[in-house]
Structure 1
Amino acid sequence: SQPSVAFAFAVLVAAGEAVRVRPPGGDHPVGPLATAAALGYALLGEIDGRPAVHNVLQTVAVVAAGTLVGLVPHAARGTGALRLDPQARRLLTVAFAAVCYQPLHAWAEATARPGPWHAALLLVVLPLSACGDALVAAALRSGRRRRLFQPELSDALRAAFGIVPALAGTGAVLALAVGAGGLWALPVCWVPLLLVQFAVHRHAAVRATYRQTIASLARATEVAGYTPKGHARRVAALSRAVARELRLTEPQLTVLEYAALMHDIGQLSLVDPVAGGATEPLAESERRRIALLGGAVVRQTGVSPDVALVVERQADPWREQPLTARVVRVANAYDDLAAAQDAVTGPLRVLERLRLGAARDYDPRVVEALARVVAAQGPGTAGAGPG
């Protein structure tokens, strides 16, 4: 029914899927414009003053067809394995929104409810749809990462209510605009959003280049022979995983990752390299000198002062450190100690040693978070080998 309307929304979903963008800190690209268009179709009650007659099955079919068409350019470019989790979640969310909204809208029309009732229905359906999407996302990530469901659900809810209001609001505006002005309202509302997404994509590209610059600077210690190959990258990855376990915010994760990449930059001041690049066995005064020199170098690079603070506080007592510095210190100690251990039993011995140093050298809460991350990753995935 109403094929021109179905085709118009399918085109919007396909276009939104074709111009996906990777969110800050995200693992995979997403299509926010495709999701907004799909929600707009699910919440469509009128078209230029005439009732919309599509049902839930047609809504799901149109969104699925648009999504598949939008995935074709990515498959043709061979951009790697396509993960369909976001698209499957989108279909489930749209189906849930349509199941909730369309009968309520029909009831409001049949009982001649005034316009504000439609806004109230949207305010009820959209948060419920967001919660449903968060439940599905948490279940998928919990199974994939072998992590408890509750922390994943907390992360998913926090992420959902960061971006969902914008997506839901856009979808609602599309539906209301088409209801009042017909299909000509779609390009009027959608094209500015597309331009905004291109701007976000450029910003993400600048951030990626910035991170690559920092990673290249961090490799100076490896090239000079002061630290083992891949040490900074392993510490950064492990620090980020532990920080997620501790539920740090995205800005904190960014600061922590940059600091972890450059935490050993102060070793370039040493006359002779430390054996294995491991600073944990050094005297406290020597570790503090390296940390302060590293912080001074970081400040000269123009990186955020917060990053320099984390680097220069590495040798301080952990109770005086910011949480990000505690995380980097524990991750660094784990990688330093695990380098000399075998891949099977080494992680357990290293964790036991860190636990013995907890409350004196390391924050016990961070050590336990590290233990959960290592258990989830499996033996030999962190700190084992130079890769």
Structure 2
Amino acid sequence: MSAYRPPPLLTLVHACAALFATGSLAVTFHHGLDEPRVALAFGVLVTVGELTRRNGARVREPAPLGAAAALSYALLGEAGGRATHHGPAQVVAVVLAASLLGSVPHVARGQGPTLDHLARRVLTVGFVAVCFQPPYNRGMFDDWGGPAYALLLLALLSLTALCDAVFAAALAHTRTGWPFGPVLRDELRAVYGIGSAVIATGAVMALAVAVVGLWALPVFSVPLLLAQMAFRRYAAVRATYRQTIASLARATEVAGYTPAGHARRVAVVSKAVGRDLGLTEPELAVLEYAALMHDIGQLSLVDPVPSGATAALPAAEQRRIALLGGAVVRQTGVDEAVAVVVERQADPYAEQPLAARIVRAVNAYEEKSREGGPGGPLTALEELRLATAGTYAPEVVESLARVLARSSLTLPVAG
């Protein structure tokens, strides 16, 4: 069995970040710290930001306070009216050391930052520091005052955020095989959320410390901490919402209408196919919820469908069950878009929204592969391809084949 070899892009990014970090640490150790008090203050703030990080697969900026403090230090030219003289190497060294220190408790719990996150932090902070510190120390920005100087900082931070979004999308594309365009679009959309708060806070901190000194750091950290708490509450509400939908979806399993785990398996693969076809994050959420609840219409049946396999039923019966499911979903108060996908999953694919096409094809694949024994997955996929003339959307079936080949999502038979 051959050893795992990371994709070349991952190796390149990690190697560049490692070389940059190593060189910065070596230069800083050799020359010592300029303005140690300032470096310590920003290092403490980055550490606190990492200590308050929120881990999770869907979190795009897990430590916004740490990111804002790091960017602010990279753009710092004065502290309390006195010029600072630290360069890009010291910025990267302080930020890296503080980030690692703040990550120790998370690493102990097995939830530490990934190499991708650390590499992006080093490269983005290094980028903005290289763009700002050498020109500033040479006096190139001496004539930039007032609004012009503030706009300069915002422009540099905005450019840095765009570069970070490209880095994040490229790394996600390399690791998962998801299309680069939709991933980049989602990353850029995140810039308008917590990313804009990080940019604004980083610029304000740098400007405030230049005028009033280090006391500005705790003062201007409070708004971002409050925003982070608000995002956490929103994420908790979303998680509770999803758990409620998953519980509703399990009603068909508890009642014996569908096999255990069927809805979850369909949801996992449907979401993967949706990513492959370029759906946005909001569209993926609707798709996931609809896939979880796609069989809920069977609760209205007097006689259960054997094994819950609706793909083999006549088209009229499939549509009737789908309409019943849409009516049930509407009564639960779930998003109207989810109900539309559920009730249209049995329509001719030319008339279906993309999410309904995906749910129908993945549901049929799961049912056919479950019934086909060891060779069921390949046989099921071949049957779906033969039925693309009128039953299943060809682009969805081909996407499903790509997802299965890439991710080994073979939907094991529930035992």
- Please give the TM-score of this superposition, normalised by the length of structure 2: 0.84
> AA paired with 2:37?
S
* Structure 1 residue 16 corresponds to structure 2 residue 57: no
* Structure 1 residue 104 corresponds to structure 2 residue 132: no
The correspondence for 2:379, drawn from 339, 343, 349, is 349
* Structure 1 residue 69 corresponds to structure 2 residue 101: yes
* Structure 1 residue 195 corresponds to structure 2 residue 226: yes
Could you tell me which residue of structure 2 aligns to residue 178 of structure 1?
209
Question: Which string of whole-angstrom CA distances, capped at 9 and with x for unpartnered residues, describes residues 275-306 of structure 1?
Answer: 22211110111111111111111111111111
Measure the CA separation in 2 of the matches of 1:164 and 1:195. 15
Measure the CA separation in 1 of the matches of 2:112 and 2:93. 24
Question: Which string of whole-angstrom CA distances, capped at 9 and with x for unpartnered residues, describes residues 214-263 of structure 1?
Answer: 11111111112211111111111111111112222222111111111111
Measure the CA separation in 1 of the matches of 2:225 and 2:181. 35
Tell me how far 1:153 sits from its aligned partner: 4.7
Measure the CA separation in 2 of the matches of 1:261 and 1:363. 20
Question: Which string of whole-angstrom CA distances, capped at 9 and with x for unpartnered residues, describes residues 173-199 of structure 1?
Answer: 211121122111111111121122112
Could you tell me which residue of structure 1 aligns to residue 9 of structure 2?
none
Change (3 A) 1:108 1:349: farther
- Contact kept? 2:357, 2:393, Cα under 8 Å: yes
Question: Which string of whole-angstrom CA distances, capped at 9 and with x for unpartnered residues, describes residues 19-59 of structure 1?
Answer: 22357x71687112211111111111221222221111111
Change (3 A) 1:309 1:153: closer
Structure 1 gaps of 5+ residues are: none
Measure the CA separation in 1 of the matches of 2:232 and 2:166. 28
The correspondence for 1:37, drawn from 44, 69, 75, is 69
Measure the CA separation in 2 of the matches of 1:134 and 1:226. 45
The correspondence for 1:121, drawn from 139, 142, 152, is 152
Change (3 A) 1:109 1:80: closer
Tell me how far 1:124 sits from its aligned partner: 4.3
Question: Which string of whole-angstrom CA distances, capped at 9 and with x for unpartnered residues, describes residues 87-136 of structure 1?
Answer: 33112211111111212333454663444553453354334323432343
Task: Write out aligned runs for 1:98-177 (5 A).
Answer: 98-109=129-140, 112-147=143-178, 152-153=183-184, 155-160=186-191, 163-177=194-208
> AA paired with 2:52?
V
Could you tell me which residue of structure 1 aligns to residue 84 of structure 2?
52
Could you tell me which residue of structure 1 aligns to residue 18 of structure 2?
none
- Contact kept? 1:342, 1:384, Cα under 8 Å: no
Measure the CA separation in 1 of the matches of 2:386 and 2:139. 65
Change (3 A) 1:111 1:122: closer
Measure the CA separation in 2 of the matches of 1:150 and 1:192. 33
Structure 2 gaps of 5+ residues are: 1-33
Change (3 A) 1:46 1:138: same
The correspondence for 1:259, drawn from 287, 290, 308, is 290
Judge which range, 314-323 or 351-360, deviates more: 351-360
* Structure 1 residue 315 corresponds to structure 2 residue 346: yes
- Contact kept? 2:365, 2:381, Cα under 8 Å: yes
Task: State the secondary structure of the residue aligned to 2:41.
Answer: helix
Judge which range, 249-258 or 143-152, deviates more: 143-152
Measure the CA separation in 1 of the matches of 2:155 and 2:257. 58
Could you tell me which residue of structure 2 aligns to residue 209 of structure 1?
240
Aligned-residue CA RMSD (Å): 2.5
Measure the CA separation in 2 of the matches of 1:359 and 1:100. 56
- Contact kept? 1:39, 1:171, Cα under 8 Å: yes
Tell me how far 1:152 sits from its aligned partner: 4.7
Tell me how far 1:79 sits from its aligned partner: 4.8
Measure the CA separation in 2 of the matches of 1:149 and 1:258. 24
Could you tell me which residue of structure 1 aligns to residue 405 of structure 2?
375
Task: Write out aligned runs for 1:271-350 (5 A).
Answer: 271-342=302-373, 346-350=376-380
Measure the CA separation in 1 of the matches of 2:262 and 2:61. 28
Change (3 A) 1:126 1:255: same
Could you tell me which residue of structure 1 aligns to residue 11 of structure 2?
none
Could you tell me which residue of structure 1 aligns to residue 35 of structure 2?
2
- Contact kept? 1:21, 1:31, Cα under 8 Å: yes
Change (3 A) 1:135 1:29: closer
> AA paired with 1:105?
Y
Task: State the secondary structure of the residue aligned to 1:271.
Answer: coil
Could you tell me which residue of structure 1 aligns to residue 275 of structure 2?
244
Judge which range, 145-154 or 9-18, deviates more: 145-154
Change (3 A) 1:260 1:152: same
Change (3 A) 1:294 1:213: same
> AA paired with 1:26?
R
